[in-house]
Structure formats: C-alpha cells, structure tokens
Amino acid sequence: MLSCSVAKIRFFIKPPPCILLFFLLSFTSFTSTEAYDVLDPNGNITIRWDIISWTPDGYVAVVTLNNFQQYRHISAPGWSLGWTWAKKEVIWSMMGGQTTEQGDCSKFKTTPPHCCKKDPTVVDLLPGTPYNQQIANCCKGGVLSSWAQDPANAIASFQISVGRAGTSNKTVKVPKNFTLKAPGPGYTCGPGKIVQPTQFLTGDKRRRTQALMTWNVTCMYSQFLAQKTPTCCVSLSSFYNDTIVPCPTCSCGCQGNSSQSGNCVDPDTPHLASVVANPAKSSPFVQCTRHMCPVRVHWHVKLNYKEYWRVKVTITNFNYKMNYTDWNLVIQHPNFDNLTQLFSFNYKSLTPYGTINDTALLWGIKFYNDLLMEAGPEGNVQSELLFRKDKSTFTFDKGWAFPRRIYFNGDNCVMPPPDAYPWLPNASSRREVSLLALVLASFVVFALCAYA
C-alpha cells in the first residue's frame, strides 16, 4: 500500500521535488544533522600525547586513544590517526602501531626513519604482533570498544619516537590538523591543547611518575559528516492488534529494477552460496527486502499483566557478509525507569539528560549472543523485557508502548511514522488524522527513496 502512494506522489510533484526533498529530509529520520548525539552529549574520543623522555633530537611519547563514547565503537578494519607536523619532525621508530606510509627518507644517510612524511597516518598493529613490538593496550587491529560496554577495551595506545623535534617543553611544537578515521569519515578533531602532565602509578602502586609534557586532542562524531545512509530500521507489532507495522519501504535504499542486475541478494536464489561468496567489493551483500536495511529491530508488545507488561525485541541481520561482533542497541522509552527484568542481554541505563532515566543500552552476553551472525537462519538475537507499570503514565493508547528512538551500533534506525503504529481497538476517533498522516508517511518514504 505504501509503495503505491509513493508512485502517486512521485507523479504529482514532478517539477519542484528538490526543495521539497531538502525540507522533508530535515524532518524525517535524518537527525543526522545534529552536531552531536543527544543520547550521548559528552561522547568523544580523546587522544592524549604524553612525552615520557627526551632524546638527543626529540622525544619519546605514548599516544593514548580513549573512547569515551557510551555506545559508539570502532570495529574492524579499525581506526587510523593522522596529523601534520608543526616543524620538520620525523618518526624514528614506533611500538604498538605503525604509519601506513614511510614517505621520502632519501635525505637520511644512516638507518632511515620509520616515517618522514609531513602528515603521517598511524594504524594499530594486528593481534599476534611479536611481544618486542607491543606496548600496553596496543595491537587490537584498531578495534575500540565503547565506554559503557567494555571500558577496559575502549583504550588504544602506541609509542612513538620523534626526531628533529624540540627537546624541551618550550621548543616542542604540538602537531596540527589531527584526523581520526573510524575507518571512514565521521569524526572531527579539535586542536591539541597542552594540559596538566599525566600522572602514572607504578605497578606496585607505591610510586607516582609523571609525563614531561602532555597534550590532549578531542574528536567528536557526527552522523552528518559520516554521510551514511541509514543502516537499520524498526518494525512494530503488538498483541492487541494483528497489524505488523513493517520497516518503512526504502528505509535504507530501494530495490533496483529487475532489469538492472540486482543490488541485493534474493534468499531464494538457487545459487545463494556462490552469490554470497563472491569476493568482489561491489557484489551485493544485503538480502532483498522492501526496506533494504542490513539490520532490522523488531519491537513486539507481547503481554499485559496487571502490574507489568512484556516486550520482545528481535534484531535480525540481513547482511550476508557481516557478522556484527559486540553489537549494541540503544533504546529510548519512558518506561525504562522501571525495567524490572531483562533476559539474555546485558543492560545499562544511560541518562543523557541527567535525571530522566528513559534510555537503555543493550548488548549481547559474551560467548552467548554477542555475535549477531550473518544473514540466514542464525542471523538474529532476541530478548524479552519486563516493565513495571507506573499507573500514572502507562497506556497502550497512542503508541505509547513503542520505543521513541532506537540506535543499532550507534546509528539511528529508521522508525515507522507514528501514525502507522498499531492501534488499540476502538480508537476510531483518530481515523481522520491518520489519512493525513498516511500522505505524510508516503512523503517520508519518497524522500528516503530519492535520497538512497
């Protein structure tokens, strides 16, 4: 039904769609223009340089990346950190990390430096790196966990020996133009700021040492910069209405014409395995659906007790080429302040607004369901949530029982328009409103179509 209206609307507004589109985009799921994330307002990645010793022509520094974001992690192939030297510095050697390019070191008559580029890019080493090239917190292939999920693995470090630099805290110049890729765009980094030298506690905790000089760089994520099309959508259902509200059509893209060779994988194709195994980068990886999202989150209002109500959440992977390790889900719903029980997921409450406790971070249990398997029979994880009713706010009316916002791995999931939510029986008074809403909804779908 929705796709019908799309076609109609497309006909109607042939001449001026551009302006309309922009107007609509700014109102639909594209909260991506937000400069920062409302559910994680203090989220950032802080990069700290600690100079730990001076050398004849420069210094040795330990560079530490702290992922202070509650739920946005960096998955394989991992982070890369770049900067521009302020003077003519070179990198003599590194531990726990490496630059991607050496650059032109032909001026050096002795052993050439590790990197002579004016704007080096550093990446993490891989797990299994020999011990003599490791330092603490290195060598995880650039993977960084989120702060709420696994703070111990939200840190990465490498050590760098810099030459042709200053050799005192007066002559050292802080590098400029820091860039962080994770691995694509999305982060903007501020300038390096000289801060109080970091203090380190020795292994036996009986002695404190301190860096000779420290500077911090703060990098912030913006979905707008990442320029990602949505990667996830939400579908809804309830025990009190047979309607299953699907993900909006074209949430993450539209299915190509059958005349063009498919941009998605038909699960019924007889040679599924060979299509999926095709190593070409451009080969399709997502199962053909109306929403074309690699991930769908389904929220089912399952049961109504006197004091409690129960929801079932299912995450389904439609991506044939991706196992999501350490996946996470952020859900905003007013009843999370009275979450009583949760089955088979980990839970942590996030309180982005300080006092309002309506946002939950959910993630899988290690070795049980922390891996969301590639599309197929195993490609889903699920949980049930039990909420205690607060008599003053609880209702099944007006879609109250459905989530306000869902993120998968930090990316905003496309929600069905509120007026399409399953109704309580006998909610006839809302019928006129919903005709308008339906038209609006198809606009949204159209906008998404055209965008993708």
Ligand X SMILES: *[C@@H]1O[C@H](CO)[C@@H](O)[C@H](O)[C@H]1NC(C)=O
Phi, psi of 226 (to 5 degrees): -65, -20
Contact between 68 and ligand X per CB under 6 A: yes
Residue 245 binding ligand X, by CB under 6 A: yes
Interface mask toward ligand X for 34-63; x: CB under 6 A:
--------x-x-x-x---------------
Our finding on whether 10 is near ligand X (CB under 6 A) is no
**Among 106, 111, 132, 426, contact with ligand X (rule: CB under 6 A):** 426
One residue of 79, 178, 407, 423 binding ligand X per CB under 6 A: 423
Binding residues with ligand X: total (CB under 6 A) = 40
Closest CA relative to residue 49, chosen from 222, 206, 178, 201? 178
Q: Give the torsion through C-alpha atoms of 109, 58, 126, 281, to 10 deg.
A: -70
Site map (CB under 6 A) of ligand X, residues 165-204, x = contact: ----x------xx----------------xx---------
User: What is the Cα–Cα distance from 377 to 127, expressed in whole angstroms?
Assistant: 30
Establish whether the linkage from the previous residue to 130 is cis, with ω within 30° of 0.
no
| CA nearest to 297, candidates 335, 327, 336, 334 | 327
CA distance 162 to 430: 68
The helix (run of H) or strand (run of E) holding residue 273 is: helix 272-277
End-to-end CA distance of the chain: 20
How far is the C-alpha of 67 from the C-alpha of 181, rounded, in Å?
13
Q: Find the binding residues for ligand X in span 325-364 (CB under 6 A).
A: 337-339, 349, 351, 357
Q: Which two tokens stand for residue 193?
A: 């700021």
> Of 137, 145, 216, 231, which one interacts with ligand X (CB under 6 A)?
216
Whether 291 contacts 248, CB under 8 Å: yes
Pick the piece of the chain touching ligand X (CB under 6 A) from 20-28, 121-129, 399-407, 417-425: 417-425
Question: Interface with ligand X includes 75 (CB under 6 A)?
Answer: no
What span, in angstroms and rounded, lies between the C-alpha atoms of 35 and 186? 11
Nearest approach in angstroms of CB 318 to ligand X is 13
Residue in 110, 132, 259, 274 binding ligand X, rule: CB under 6 A: 259
Q: Which of these segments, 287-295, 379-387, 405-413, 416-424, binds ligand X (CB under 6 A)?
A: 416-424
- The whole-angstrom separation of Cα 41 and Cα 361 is 15
- Residues forming contacts to ligand X in the complex (CB under 6 A) are 42, 44, 46, 48, 64, 66, 68, 84, 169, 176-177, 194-195, 213, 216, 218, 241, 243, 245, 257, 259, 321-323, 337-339, 349, 351, 357, 373-374, 388, 390, 420-423, 425-426
